[in-house]
Structure 1
Amino acid sequence: MTSVITAQSLTMRFRGCDALRGVDFAIEPGSVFALLGENGAGKTTMIRIMTGFQKPTSGECTVCGIDPTRHPLEVRRRVGYVSDAPALYDWMSVGEIGWFTASFFPDGFLPAYRESIRRYEIPEDRKIRHLSKGQRAKVALSLALAHDPELLILDEPTSGLDPMVRRDFLESMIDRAASGRTVFLSSHQISEVERVADTIAILHEGKLRVVAPLIELKQSMTELTVSLDDPLVAIPSIDEPAEVMCDELLGRQRRMVVRNFTPEMHARLASATGVVSVHERPLSLEEIFIACTKGSLSRPQGDSDPAAVTPQAAAMEVTI
């Protein structure tokens, strides 16, 4: 199966900033791939490279089997793109902007666009300038999908939209994947991503911390609370294939987020000198994201002391 998008050792350097640092991933057809990251993590730079608007400093990228640096127009013909602030001609009506855009695509674009607008109940004679933000987003999505692209790229598409419009976007992503098409979603809306994504990638300061199927990622991440009889006690190191995503000392408790932690590692840790107990609990996607980007799961200053929270109480926490 040919990957829809591939990135190999992708690097993008600006003056005084490394936006991307050796990014590697591959996206298979018929899936929703979610790229999570804070503002400034490099998500938009990644999309600009994928669509041929930015040439990487080094590394390679292909989209639908095409190198976007060599054939950017061919890539753009085969993808649909929606940003958080779609650039639409305000002086045009909803119908006129569909007619105008149809001139760049094969026959069939305009009927598909009109059907989408009708489904969203947006009058064709209404000027773009008179549309709400949610309606503008629906017009942008209709324009992006009318030529039935192989790949739909969404860059923070639901930012500032009401719940009903966000639901429409989520349903469109699921429908695309179900039809064998691919969706690349860039976002920091964790709860929305968790509802639709097949694969999660977390980008932090230009580097991918994790890339894995959502279910596999959540199953592989564990929070450990290691209670010590003395805060100066040194515990055994956690070796490969496990990976420590964050590690902090809170009084007599050592709190770690570990990927691929095994029962054998638990037994070794629990039997170490000075270790009173070892408790495990699974993590939500939001907690995994925080651990990968912040390097800590501690509560903000002013909340109750995390060291005072029992493992039983911690296990009952629900992240929304």
Structure 2
Amino acid sequence: MNEDNAIRIEGLTVRYRGRPAVDGLSFDVPTGSVFGLLGENGAGKSTTIKTLLGLVAPDAGRVETLGLNPGKQGEEVRRKVGYVPETPTLYDWMTAAEIGWFASGFRPDAPGGPEGTQGRYADLIKGFDLPADRKIKALSKGMRAKVGLALALAPDPGLLILDEPTSGLDLLVRREFLESMVDLAGSGRTVLLSSHQVAEVERIASHVALVHKGKLILAEPLDELKARTFRVSFTLDGPARPTSLPFGPEWQLIDADDAPRQSSWLIHATDREAIAALRGLPGVTGLEVETPGLEEIYIAYMRRRVPATVAPSFAAVLA
């Protein structure tokens, strides 16, 4: 196993009925990171997660989870990983306490053995304010989500994979749970978090990957992404727009929002100096550069609007 990465994905392709749900996906999840996997519904996030757990077989490419091949060692992978699906499947006829006792027997290799797992589970459901003696079928959606989280966390796994884990949780519990993910990473554990709650991911993630229609848009440390992404707002002295742009390897246009005398572009650049050439465009009378948040960056990559008037060569690059 490469100790630098808890997860490795290389050229992963998964097809359903001939159509790619995941299309040539490649990225690494560093050990000890909180890694946010972001994308719209149907982007391939859940399929990717199921492949990492050995629940779905890839059509092409290679994946490693904790140095193991999930396609051949799926059972061992699932013993080592804490996993919370978007809708956990629970035995409704058990109580919250009974399902913790039942599940602990499947993780004999967890720290402290089954007894240690049961003790941690009891502490977790107490912290989540769950009634231990109530049947699962009598719990609310939010309470059931808390049971699923407690079951995943109780064995003290080195890797935690979460698919929309905060769905159904109230605001306070959601915040406390997310903060606990940062503590886990600080102790050397790894968290892969798939979520559509971009603001939540921004608050806790050290790394992010954006996927769209099964394809990778980007994967990099969040601090670096934000340090190299700029909202550039400029005003024009008339309705005419530049017909050529100083495009180069130093910067990439992500999204353009044009108005008659005002434009706002999101640009990924090596640094602020790399976009200084925009000040010299014909007709530009003012220019401001700001740092956008992750949600704005995410939306920009999903939209990918081109400037209202650009040179044909530049339009071809954007396409």
TM score, norm. by length of structure 2: 0.87
How far 1:155 moved relative to its partner?
A: 0.5
Q: Secondary structure in 1 aligned to 2:249?
A: coil
User: In structure 1, which of residues 86, 89, 93 is the aligned counterpart of residue 88 of structure 2?
Assistant: 86
The equivalences for 1:130-279 within 5 A come to: 130-228=138-236, 229-260=238-269, 262-279=271-288
Distance 1:18 1:127, change over 3 A: same
How far 1:254 moved relative to its partner?
A: 3.8
How far 1:66 moved relative to its partner?
A: 0.4
Deviates more, 1:198-207 or 1:253-262: 253-262
User: In structure 1, which of residues 59, 64, 67 is the aligned counterpart of residue 66 of structure 2?
Assistant: 64
Q: Which residue of 1 aligns with 2:296?
A: 287
1:110 equivalenced with 2:118 (yes/no) = yes
Query: Deviations for 1:260-300, whole angstroms, at most 9, x for unmatched residues?
Result: 154444442222333333322211111001001122599xx
1:120 equivalenced with 2:136 (yes/no) = no
Q: Which residue of 2 aligns with 1:30?
A: 32
Task: Give, as a single letter, the amino acid of the residue that structure 2 aligns with 1:157.
Answer: P
Q: Which residue of 1 aligns with 2:78?
A: 76
The 8 Å contact of residues 145 and 167 in structure 2, kept in 1 or not, is answered as no
Alpha-carbon distance in structure 1 between the residues aligned to 2:274 and 2:126: 58
Alpha-carbon distance in structure 2 between the residues aligned to 1:51 and 1:263: 41
The equivalences for 1:36-51 within 5 A come to: 36-51=38-53
Alpha-carbon distance in structure 1 between the residues aligned to 2:254 and 2:168: 31
Task: Give, as a single letter, the amino acid of the residue that structure 1 aligns with 2:197.
Answer: Q
Alpha-carbon distance in structure 2 between the residues aligned to 1:256 and 1:8: 32
How far 1:161 moved relative to its partner?
A: 2.0
Distance 1:133 1:168, change over 3 A: farther
Task: Give, as a single letter, the amino acid of the residue that structure 2 aligns with 1:130.
Answer: A
Gaps of 5+ in 2: 308-319
Deviates more, 1:229-238 or 1:200-209: 229-238
Task: Give, as a single letter, the amino acid of the residue that structure 1 aligns with 2:21.
Answer: A
The 8 Å contact of residues 266 and 278 in structure 1, kept in 2 or not, is answered as no
Q: Which residue of 2 aligns with 1:12?
A: 14
The 8 Å contact of residues 287 and 297 in structure 1, kept in 2 or not, is answered as no
The 8 Å contact of residues 146 and 169 in structure 2, kept in 1 or not, is answered as no
Gaps of 5+ in 1: 299-320
Alpha-carbon distance in structure 2 between the residues aligned to 1:294 and 1:103: 48
Query: Deviations for 1:34-93, whole angstroms, at most 9, x for unmatched residues?
Result: 011111111111111111111112111100000111111011001011122211111111
Q: Which residue of 2 aligns with 1:306?
A: none
Number of aligned residue pairs: give it: 298
How far 1:169 moved relative to its partner?
A: 1.8
Q: Secondary structure in 2 aligned to 1:104?
A: coil
Task: Give, as a single letter, the amino acid of the residue that structure 2 aligns with 1:120.
Answer: F
% identity of equivalent residues: 45
